[in-house]
Amino acid sequence: MKRRGLYVVYPLIIFILVILLFPFFVMVSTAFKPISEVYANPPHWIPRELYLKNFSDIWYKYPLGSYFKNSFIISIGTTLLNMVICIPAAYAVARLRFRAKSFLMYLFLVVQMFSPIIVVISLFKIIALLGLLDTLMSLVLTNSVFTLTFAIWLLSGYFRNIPKEIEEAALIDGCSRIQSIIRILLPVAMPGVVTTIIYTFISAWNEFMFALTFITSMDKRPLTLGLYNFIGRWTVQWQYLMAAAILALIPVVILFMFIERELVQGLAGGAVKG
Amino acid sequence: MTLKRRPRLVKGKFWRTESAVAYLFMIPASVFLLVFMFYPIVYVILMSFFRVNKLGDLVSFFGWGNFRFMFDKPEFWQIILRSCLWTAIAVVVKTALGLVIALLLNVEFTGKKLARTLVIIPWASSVPISAMIWQWTYNSDFGLLNHTLRTLGIWKNPPIWLAEPRSAFMANLWVDIWCGIPFMALVFLAGLQAIPQELYEAAEVDGATSWNKFRYITLPLLSGVLTVATLLSTLWTFNDFNVIYVLTAGGPGTSTDILITYIYKYAFQYLRFGPAAAMAVITFGILLLVSIIYARSYFREGVL
């Protein structure tokens, strides 16, 4: 009976995967075509030959290096800022008793769902007031705000799962609270910290709307905005866009695979805890 | 912060200082959220009741003027309707397909791990970049989608996807669905794996059919996950800016705009901040409502 089931499962899974992965197939196929073949009608599924020049062309025909650099600076800046803010907050939520706790956790969960669009109009004013328009700093700040609450949420979940007794012993042995966090809790909670770091990094890396709103100079564009600007002027050089997209996607897709389970668990809460 | 140099702790005092430390630790996060989240929300609410100039400064009190301006526009109501339609269709399709994929991935077969990893990729990928790839895929002359549909004989005359209102809406909708399927599949899979196997074995002993097992064991035990996941998906779908902005920017005209992209267009294309703020306030109300329902069901599943 089991065996008969597989005759249904395999074709269905393959069918679904073909549909889900089709655009990535298009991306790879286009990235290895010369322009003459990109604009062939009817189009070819598979490139006639493996044309690698797109991957070298993009680096000097577009400021791709600076896009990558900006995305790195923004993502790393966001991650650092987030960690400084989130670790104490998550610690407080996970370990300490205080009156406003359940209210704050509730608030964080609700805030996490707000669309940045609601506030972008007034954030624009604030960023302008701070003199941060067209700076990478503006994106570090705004990306932090919108990853903050979920990061605290994720991290406090990890802290809560670590037995309190370890730190209490250290406190009694004369460690200060800060020392007990840095020397004892964080090393034990490392997987959770890494998950949170990856989550923040990816979110900042993929962010598009704030960049579109706050950044005007070419040399300050992050990858998402930079690639978006491949489209729209004159004819689109799709083979370049697709080659650049491959390079931009590889790091995030790989990083994402490390944290998808934790994300699912963090987002769906007790519902999926077996 | 050097609380406990002393080995012995007086209990009453300990709890008092503990909450002081807690508030101290919450200060950075709170200040940050106050400045960059709550203040902007308050400011948007203010803006919605004022005449606002092209720089976003408040000029004079306008009462419900901005709201009335939007309500008088038939286009606005079309966009509200479209946003509802967009969210409803996308969430239903994501849930259905996600459930099917989860059920498939819950069966033991060789290559299951690989299949699971591949299913995740659309979610792992950056949404704006995925939308750019789709834009090329949809290209009517050189894109591979229409070519494939024609060659395989599935659709002899596929539309010029992004050029006409109706097909452009469908094209946007599909990309949003495509991005959202993996999350649904993974949550449902996690939910399925949490169901005790003994239940199925007991049902088998009693001679239950596969459908009966699904109907009377799987679905009821999955209902918690279903609720949380569909609420999340509703919020995400309703908020989806990237797909529409990249694929069609709401075009042709405003025929594929939903509330979220329409607000952005009003603010940063037309520079009409007042009406944009009014719509943002309406959106805020909707999101607040759904988020509270989500938070409630999240806590009902008992995480804290």
Highest mean pLDDT among A44-48, A68-72, B190-194: A68-72
CA distance B171 to chain A (A): 13
Q: Count CB atoms within 10 A of the CB of residue B73.
A: 12
Q: What is the pLDDT of residue A12?
A: 93
Test A17 with B298 for CB contact under 8 angstroms: no
Q: For residues B58-86, give the mean pLDDT.
A: 94
CA distance B129 to chain A (A): 7
Minimum-distance CB partner of A145 among B7, B32, B246: B32
Q: What is the pLDDT of residue A109?
A: 82
- Interface test with chain A among B16, B55, B236, B304, by most A beta carbons within 10 Å: B304
Test B128 with A228 for CB contact under 8 angstroms: yes
Q: Is B185 on the interface with A (CB under 8 A)?
A: no
Minimum-distance CB partner of B141 among A41, A88, A257: A41
- For residue B27, the SS3 value is helix
**Per-residue pLDDT for A167 more than 60?**
yes
Q: Count CB atoms within 10 A of the CB of residue A260.
A: 17
In our burial notation (b when 16+ CB lie closer than 10 A, e otherwise), range A59-88 reads eeebbbebbbebbbbbbbbbbebbbebbbb
Q: What is the pLDDT of residue A2?
A: 53
What domains, with CATH codes, occur in chain B?
42-72+272-304 (no CATH), 81-270 (1.10.3720.10)
Minimum-distance CB partner of A119 among B41, B104, B241: B41
Read out DSSP for A38-71? Answer: HT-SSPPSS-SS---HHHHHHHHHS-HHHHHHHH
Minimum-distance CB partner of A270 among B2, B239, B301: B301
Q: Which of B59, B88, B98 is nearest to B225 (CA)?
A: B98
**Per-residue pLDDT for A263 more than 60?**
yes
Q: What is the ipTM of this complex?
A: 0.92
Q: Would you tell me which residues 69-88 of chain B have a C-beta closer than 8 angstroms to some C-beta of chain A? A: none
**Per-residue pLDDT for A274 more than 50?**
no
Test B28 with A89 for CB contact under 8 angstroms: yes
Fill in the DSSP letter of residue A34.
-
In terms of CA atoms, which chain B residue is nearest residue A209?
B242
The predicted-structure confidence for B140-171, as pLDDT tens digits, reads as follows: 888 899 999 988 888 888 888 888 999 999 99
The predicted-structure confidence for B101-120, as pLDDT tens digits, reads as follows: 999 999 888 889 999 999 99
CA distance A62 to chain B (A): 17
Q: What percent of chain B has pLDDT above 70?
A: 93
CATH of domain A62-272: 1.10.3720.10
Q: Name beta bridge partners: B50.
A: B61
d(CA B37, CA B69): 27
Test A264 with B186 for CB contact under 8 angstroms: yes
B60 alpha carbon, distance to own chain's centre:
36
In terms of CA atoms, which chain A residue is nearest residue B188?
A272
Question: Which pair of structure tokens corresponds to residue B172?
Answer: 């946007």
Q: What is the pLDDT of residue B301?
A: 60
Minimum-distance CB partner of B1 among A42, A144, A177: A177
Burial class (CB in 10 A: 0-12, 13-18, 19+), B300: middle
Test B23 with A98 for CB contact under 8 angstroms: yes
**Per-residue pLDDT for B244 more than 50?**
yes
CA distance B235 to chain A (A): 7
Average pLDDT, chain A: 89
Test A264 with B129 for CB contact under 8 angstroms: no
The residue extents of the domains of chain A are 1-59, 62-272
At residue B18, what is the residue type? E
CA distance B74 to chain A (A): 22
Q: Which residues from chain A sit within 8 angstroms of residue B124, using beta carbons?
A: 252-253, 256-257, 260
Q: Is B245 on the interface with A (CB under 8 A)?
A: yes
The predicted-structure confidence for A57-93, as pLDDT tens digits, reads as follows: 999 888 999 999 999 999 999 999 999 999 999 999 9
Test B225 with A270 for CB contact under 8 angstroms: no
